[in-house]
Chain A
C-alpha cells in the first residue's frame, strides 16, 4: 500500500494527534517502511484459515450482578487536570 501525506493527516486526525508539517514526512516514511515490511504476509496462504479472535482460551467469563461500591471516590478525581463540582471540567462542547 502506498501511503501519501493526505493519508497520514487523515490517520492522525482519527488518532487525535497533531502532526506538524515538518514531521509528516518522517511519519509517512516510517509507516511506509513498516507496511512494506508487512508485505511479507502476502507469502502466507490464509484462504482457509480463520482469524484469531482472542488470546485467551477462556469462554463465558461472567460476573454476578452484585453491587460492590468503590469506596475511595475522592481518589477517582485526584488526578483530574481541572475539576468543578465533583466533575471533570472541559471547554464548552457545542452540540
Chain B
C-alpha cells in the first residue's frame, strides 16, 4: 500500500529502436534474428580504420518523433562519443548525442483519472544500440553477438512529471502508440525495441526538494515496470521511515523474486568522457526540412477518434479502443473501406478479435490477416453468404492460416443455404419429425420455434440462412 503522505516522482528514459532498413552508421540490415554476427560488417564490428556514415532516415525519424511529441527541432545538432568499456560495445564508445540533441522541450498528453495531464519531455536524441551477450548457463563463458550493434535508437527523456505507476503505464502506452502511428518504430517490446530506464524517488508531500532517485535500467514489459515501481516506492518509503537514506544507484529488477537489487560495483564511478564525434559532420536542419517532415506525418490518434465518432457514428468508448493501437485502427479503417460497414467491423475488433488476442497473449501488431480479409468477411455476412456462427469459424481460420475468407468457406463447404426450395425441404423434414413441437407451438409455447430452427441448423451443419428458416417455419406453423 502506497502511503498517502508521500509523493512519488518518476522520470523515464525510453529507448526505442527505429524501424529503418539499415543500421545507423553502416549499411547492414537491422532485421531481428539471424545467425550470430551475420548482420555485421567491418564498421559495426569496429574493425580498425572504419568510419561511420549517418543514415539519413534516422535523422528524419527522430525529427518525426520530435514533431509528434511537440518538441522544438534543433537547427544545429551534432553527435558525440560516450566512452566506456563493455564487451557489447565494440568501439568502446557509443555514438550518441550529448549537448546538442535533435529535439528538445516537448510533451505528451495522457488521460488520467483526474483528467488530461501533460508529461514534459526534456529531449529526444539519436544513438546506436549495443550488441548482445549470450550467457551460457552451464559453460564458464559468455559469447558476443554484434547483430544488434549499430541498430538505430532514439532516447526519449521525460521530466520527472510522473506521479504513479499508473501514470507511467499510461505514458508508455501513449508514447508507444505515437511511435507506431508515425511509423518510426514497431515497438515490439518482447524484442526489446521499446525499453525504459525508470528513475524513481519519493518525497514527503509538500516538500519542494526532490528525493534521491534510483534507476532501474532496460525494463521491457509494462507489467514489470508497474510491479518494479510499486516495489521500489515501497522500499524507499520503508528505508526513509526507518530513518535511513536512499542511495543514488542503478538497480536491477528481478521478475522472479519481485525485488530490486543493487547492480553496479560502487567503486566504478562512471565518467563517460563525452566529446564531439570527429568522424561525423555536424547536422544543420533547415525550416524546409522540418516542414517537409511535418507534412509527411500521418493523421494522429486524436483526429482519427474525432472522425470515427462523427463520420462513422461510433460510440466514444469504441473509438478509444480502436485508436489505442495503430494496428487496430488501421485494421478498422482498411476493413471499413472494403465493406463499408464500420459498425460491424468495429464489433468484430472489439469482441471476437480482442478475445482471441487475449487468449493467445498477442499484441495487435501480431494479427496475421489483412484488413482487406476482415472486410471481405463482413461482406460475406452482410450478403448472407455465411451466418455469423460460420463467420466466427472463418475468423479462427484467419488467425491460423490467413487467406481469403471466400476461399476458406469454399474449401470448407461453409456456404450458407439461401435457396428457398432447399430451405423449404429442410423445414418440411424437421416438421415431420417433430409433431410434438408443432403441438407445443400451437399451444402457445413460442420456445418451440427456436427448437425447430435449431434442429434445422443442426441438419444443415449451420449452413442454412437463419432468417429464412425462421420466416419459413413461421409460415408453415401459422398455416
Contact = CB atoms under 8 A, between A and B. Distances in A.
* A adjacent to B, CB under 8 Å: yes
A73 B53 CA distance: 20
B85 A16 contact: yes
Interface of A: 14, 16, 53-56, 58-70, 73, 76-77, 84-93, 95
Contacts of B280: 54, 61
B145 A65 contact: no
A67 B39 CA distance: 10
A55 B282 CA distance: 10
B271 A55 contact: no
Interface residues of B, number: 45
Given A54-B276, A60-B281, A67-B29, A93 B142 contact: yes
Interface in B237-273: 252, 271, 273
B141 A62 contact: no
Contacts of B47: 76
Main secondary structure of the interface of A (DSSP, over half): loop
A92 B141 contact: yes
Main secondary structure of the interface of B (DSSP, over half): loop
Contact of B140 (A14, A62, A92): A92
Interface stretch (B54-62, B358-366, B448-456): B54-62
A14 B272 CA distance: 9
B70 to A, nearest CB: 24
Q: Which of A59, A64, A67 has the most chain B CB atoms closer than 10 A to its own CB?
A: A67
B22 A62 contact: no
A70 B42 contact: yes
B41 interface: yes
A54 B141 contact: no
Q: Top 5 A-B pairs ranked by shortest CB distance?
A: A70-B41, A62-B56, A87-B143, A68-B27, A65-B57
Interface string B26-69: 01110000011110111001010000011111010000000000
